[in-house]
Amino acid sequence: MISFYKKKEYRISVSHDDWVTPEETLMDSSSDYSNIEQPISMNVFRITTGIIVVLFAVISFGTFKISILGNAFYADLATQNKTVNFTISPPRGLIFDNEGQALVKNVPSFDLVAISRDLPRDAAQLKENVDVLAKILSKNPEETNALITDGAKNNSLFIVASDIPKEIVLAFSQLNLKGFYVVATTKRSYIDGHQFSTVVGYIGKVSRDNLEKDSYYLVSDSIGRAGIEAAYEEALRGTHGRIFFTQQEGSSTQQEPAPGDDVVLNLNHDIQETLYNTLFNTLRTANLGRAAAIVQDPRSGAVLGMVSFPGYDNNIFNSAVSQEEFEKLFLSPSKPLFNRAVSGLYNPGSVIKPFIGMAGLEEGVITRNTTIQDCVNITIPNPLKPNEPTIYKNWRVDLGPFNLRRAIADSCNVFFYTLGGGHNDIPGLGISRIAKYLKGAWADAILGIDLPGEEKGFVPTPEWKRKNTNENWYLGDTYNISIGQGDLVVSPLWINSYISAIANGGTMYKPSVVNRIVDNSKNPIRVFQPDALGRLPFKDEVIREVKRDMQETVLSGTAKLLSGLPVTAGAKTGTAEVVKNTSINSLFTAFAPFENPEVAITILIEGAASNEGHATRTAYDFLKWYFDPNRKTQ
């Protein structure tokens, strides 16, 4: 029998939404089925590659830096690790005048050093060597033995004696003292030290402060302490050398020091020498001891000569300074290390009168034809005490009419009292305008000379007086300022600079001592050009008028002595009372030749009993030498 049945079918129904085809399992992680399998992000590969590249670059640069760029340093370090080295201070650069004449020199010197590891280990042998050494050094054996014993304990290498004479070097070379070595070096020697120390200065051993502030210096070094030596220390000091003492006894190699650069001054040897000798002779004749003088080229501000008294011999500092020398240099009230030309502040006295004259012309307070009658005194009534008026006198009785020219030529105080503070029908400048013009001419500012210690002047004002003295400003204060007295103080450097500006037509130059810096082959490294600070705050015609007034001082006034020069000149005499009726400072300033000035000079002599013309005589003697036609042709 045939049976027919219906076959049962089983089916699995899968939603299309859940269906995953095989290739879909390899799709990116953004797929809805990323929970099945995710690929590594390309950012991971990029970051990893970047890190590898950076690390490779760092390692490559470090390797290049050590093996190539730092080769010399690390080779030097390796040498030091197997040697004991002694640092040699370099020879300082030389200093020359403007014609190439040396003002300093470096002379050979010798130091005796000891290397601790090479000293005899046997105490008896060491003592025997030290006794021999002490004998040739002329030192106490016990002290020398203590020095070497302590040095060996605390240092691998140390100095036993400095600057030993050549005969001791020769004597030492005949001995075989184990562990002791002679090292050649140099020391400074100054040519004509007394005459040039004001400008050249001197050197001294470095201080703890120097060592802390500048890693260049070592305890055995010297550093510029004054003058050009200090101002141009970085150019002059050079680069250290070293001697390497190897482990093989007596064996050494040397890295030569590089000498410093040379400095060429505007200063002239003959001018400086003559200026010094001329002023010295004046002081000796007058039995005086304190003075200053400066000579400049008014066309550029170049300092051709500068001296200050009392002076000093800078060669004293080439060896240990004795107690007596120390007291003379550092404790003396006359301050021989003090540069009066640059750092000294003084009442200018009558040498300020050309300046006050220019201010009066500029403001229209006077004209070249304004006159007063007679130069005797000014009487100012005292409202509180009518019977006790204040009288401002001239330094002598001069009769007749006085205009600005005669007032400058004969140094009439009464005219400048009137011009500064006013009297009768002349209103006067007043202190505000006087102070304005003085400040405008850098009287209370640093001019910037390339020497240490420049001091700026001081211009008093009513505000300053009220604040510092709790007093009002009186007419008498203005009168005093108008003739260079009172609280007005300036340096001889400023006086000479403003007179130079009158001579050249109005330009105030920065005073400059150095002309250029050169290497040891005389190739210029840096050349200093004239640097104008600016112009005097006066019109050209005003400056020309006062310049002619200063010529009249020589032709008919208080500086007639200069009429004996072979050239024409402009000048102004001055005195400033220091102790009333007891002591004055004598001043004189001049320029020449009148038409085309090439030299300006200012002389200041302290402490004269009366106005005997010491400063004028000194300037005349110098200018007579300077313009001597026979000197020019030699």
pLDDT in tens, 251-310: 667 788 899 999 999 999 999 999 999 999 999 999 999 999 999 999 999 999 999 999
* Integer CA distances (angstroms), 1 to 7, 136, 223, in order: 18, 150, 136
Give the distance, in angstroms, between the CA of residue 91 and the centroid of all CA atoms in the same chain.
21
What pLDDT does residue 5 have? 43
**Which residues lie below 8 Å from residue 300, measured CB to CB, with a gap of 6+?**
509, 512, 530
| Residue 247 CB-density burial (10 A; 0-12 exposed, 13-18 middle, 19+ buried) | exposed
Confidence of residue 523 (pLDDT cuts 50, 70, 90): very high
Adjacent-strand bridge partners of 600: 296, 591
- Which has the higher per-residue pLDDT, 24 or 269? 269
Q: Are 237 and 214 in contact (CB under 8 A)?
A: no
CA angle 562, 565, 568 (to 5 degrees): 80
What pLDDT does residue 366 have? 97
Confidence of residue 122 (pLDDT cuts 50, 70, 90): confident
Adjacent-strand bridge partners of 67: none
What pLDDT does residue 229 have? 97
Confidence of residue 600 (pLDDT cuts 50, 70, 90): very high
What pLDDT does residue 505 have? 97
What pLDDT does residue 3 have? 46
How far is residue 475's CA from residue 427's CA, in Å, rounded to a whole number? 12
Q: In the 8-state DSSP scheme, what is residue 371?
A: -
- Which has the higher per-residue pLDDT, 363 or 110? 363
pLDDT in tens, 409-458: 999 999 999 999 999 899 999 999 999 999 999 999 999 999 999 999 99
What pLDDT does residue 153 have? 81
What pLDDT does residue 1 have? 43
Confidence of residue 72 (pLDDT cuts 50, 70, 90): low
Residue listed under structure tokens 């009002």? 472
Confidence of residue 580 (pLDDT cuts 50, 70, 90): low
- Percent of all residues in the chain with a pLDDT value above 90, rounded to a whole number: 60
| Residue 373 CB-density burial (10 A; 0-12 exposed, 13-18 middle, 19+ buried) | exposed
What pLDDT does residue 293 have? 98
Retrieve residue 52's tokens: 């590898």
Alpha helix segments (H runs only) across 301-430? 323-326, 340-343, 353-363, 404-409, 413-421
Alpha helix segments (H runs only) across 70-190? 71-81, 123-137, 141-154, 166-173
Averaged pLDDT, 312-319: 90
pLDDT in tens, 160-214: 888 888 888 888 888 878 888 888 888 899 999 999 999 999 999 888 899 889 9
**Which residues lie below 8 Å from residue 397, measured CB to CB, with a gap of 6+?**
375, 376
pLDDT in tens, 264-276: 999 999 999 999 9
Averaged pLDDT, 577-595: 87
CA-derived radius of gyration, the chain = 40
Q: Is the pLDDT of residue 474 over 60?
A: yes
- Percent of all residues in the chain with a pLDDT value above 70, rounded to a whole number: 87
What pLDDT does residue 386 have? 81
The least confident of 12-16, 98-102, 333-337, 471-475 is 12-16
pTM across the whole model? 0.82
The least confident of 122-136, 279-293, 297-311, 555-569 is 122-136
Q: Are 223 and 89 in contact (CB under 8 A)?
A: no
Q: How does the average pLDDT of the chain come out, rounded?
A: 87
What pLDDT does residue 33 have? 47
Averaged pLDDT, 522-550: 97
Averaged pLDDT, 622-627: 97
What pLDDT does residue 159 have? 83
Q: Is the pLDDT of residue 29 over 50?
A: no
How far is residue 223's CA from residue 204's CA, in Å, rounded to a whole number? 6
- 86-107 as b/e: b if 16+ CB within 10 A: bbbbbbbbbbbbbeeeebbebe
* Integer CA distances (angstroms), 602 to 69, 372, 411, 611, 631, in order: 57, 30, 17, 16, 22
How far is residue 8's CA from residue 512's CA, in Å, rounded to a whole number? 123
What pLDDT does residue 246 have? 66
Ranked by mean pLDDT, which of 20-29, 320-329, 534-543 comes out on top? 534-543
What pLDDT does residue 2 have? 43
What pLDDT does residue 418 have? 97
Adjacent-strand bridge partners of 577: 584
What pLDDT does residue 26 have? 47
Give the distance, in angstroms, between the CA of residue 602 and the centroid of all CA atoms in the same chain.
21
- Starting at the edge strand found earlier in the chain, the sheet holding 524-527 runs 95-96, 262-265, 514-518, 524-527
The least confident of 36-50, 236-250, 347-361 is 36-50
Retrieve residue 287's tokens: 């039995």
Retrieve residue 322's tokens: 């004795």
Q: Are 160 and 113 in contact (CB under 8 A)?
A: yes
Q: Is the pLDDT of residue 81 over 60?
A: no
Half-sphere exposure of 569 (CA within 13 A, CB side): 32
Residue listed under structure tokens 């005194």? 377
What pLDDT does residue 389 have? 87
**Residue 571 CB neighbours (<10 A):** 32
